[in-house]
Amino acid sequence: MMSTLIMSLVIVMISLIVMLLASILSKKSIVDREKSSPFECGFDPKSSSRMPFSLRFFLITIIFLIFDVEIALILPMILIIETSNIMIWSLTSIIFIMILIIGLYHEWNQGMLNWSD
């Protein structure tokens, strides 16, 4: 018991020392405006170097990723139908799919699925 406690303390101390060294060594001492500005062959930039990003596109992407992960969770349910209790499997599947449908309805109700306003 005592050796586990000592080993845990050693691991925590080593982790804290590494994090402290990383934060000290990664600091930039001088921030230069010219070095942080975009480079265009020595001339001043004609326009902003950052392109505007559509927040609507980001939200649609997040919704796609969420439903993509949910599909990855649904697919193994087909494989375990033979080895599990059919009543528990049905109840679990119905609850999971109902949560997905309620989430989809909420996103649709909030207007997140409309690409253009």
Cβ atoms 73, 92 nearer than 8 A: no
Q: Which pLDDT value is given to residue 45?
A: 59
Positions of E strands within 35-117:
none
- With 0.75 as the threshold, say if the pTM is over it: no
DSSP category for residue 22:
H
pLDDT band at 51 (very low <50, low <70, confident <90, very high): low
Q: Which residue type sits at 106?
A: H
pLDDT over 80 at 71, yes or no:
yes
- Quote the CA–CA distance of 49 and 60 in Å, as a whole number: 25
Mean pLDDT score, 10-23:
92
Q: Where are the domains of the chain?
A: 2-28, 55-110
Q: Which pLDDT value is given to residue 40?
A: 58
Q: What percent of the chain has pLDDT over 90?
A: 21
Positions of E strands within 12-71:
none
